[in-house]
Amino acid sequence: MNHPKVTSVETMDQYLLLVEFDNSTFKHFDVKPLLNKPAFAALCNPALFRLAAVEKGGYAVVWNSDIDISEYELWQGGILLEQPENAL
């Protein structure tokens, strides 16, 4: 099954991402549970966390060449928002 691709991302307080998908769905994704894993520990730095961007093609949210979260994980683990707080 193909999952929707990421079209935009916004970082929020408390290590939350507001993710928009190409099917016009918005989801919150909580990054906090990942911060205790070595691969994501650098995101504890708020300045780095705020650098989140959509990977070309919409297959992930990326921070640098070492840190990313796939569209599958964002779609599966995100919480659906009926009305997004912010338009991206």
The number of CA neighbours under 13 Å toward the Cβ of 8 is 11
Domain 6-81 CATH class label: alpha beta
Q: What is the pLDDT along the chain (88 residues), one digit of tens a residue?
A: 678 999 999 999 999 999 999 999 999 999 999 999 999 999 999 999 999 999 999 999 999 999 999 999 999 999 999 865 555 5
The pLDDT value recorded for residue 3 is: 85
Full DSSP string of 48-82:
HHTT-EEPTTSSEEESSSS-EEEHHHHHHHSEEES
Segment 44-57, tens digit of pLDDT: 999 999 999 999 99
Backbone angles phi, psi at 54, to 5 degrees: -85, 130
